Structure 1
């Protein structure tokens, strides 16, 4: 049940990111200076944490989507759905741990110095 909720929530979060991304990228056609100003506002620690959250949402949504496909189309899928969920969570945690420093390095350097 909670994986179903998390899958829907991550899908909605990804949709809203894509909506904002299309809007701010479309500013290039209106005014390149406005686009540069908007992009400059994104260079702060809060947005950097949101980028990490976006990666977390995309990875979970993708991995859980593969699990849902396996449950739907594999004859033994329903029997092993719980084990597959724990495999998804395990792979997600490993990938998120690996993404921690590459994504948050600018914020970490700002907070703790070079």
Structure 2
């Protein structure tokens, strides 16, 4: 059975590129345009991993990770940040919120797939 992944990014083209890479790798993908939409989706269905941008309107990726970690279903789910932010302070903020890993845009599709495979075990 293929893993169910949630991609969160306010950029439609970025969501499409990530979705294309992941569906090509055999994963099922659901897209959300910001943290609030992602949280709603996460409460109605189970995702095996979440890949989120950091800077988004309404709810950013770090707050999304905090909120997901508070849900019983997402205590141990891999939550990856995919962002243009590469600063150590943002990374440590993400880690503190519960992020599993950090990928920097522009991303390499093969590296993205390898990271997703690794965190899904």
**TM-score normalised by the chain length of structure 1:** 0.30
Where relative contact order (Cα < 8 A, 6+ residues apart) is larger, the structure is 1
- Max radius of gyration: which structure? 1
Which structure has greater strand proportion?
A: 2
Which structure has greater helix proportion?
A: 1
**TM-score normalised by the chain length of structure 2:** 0.29
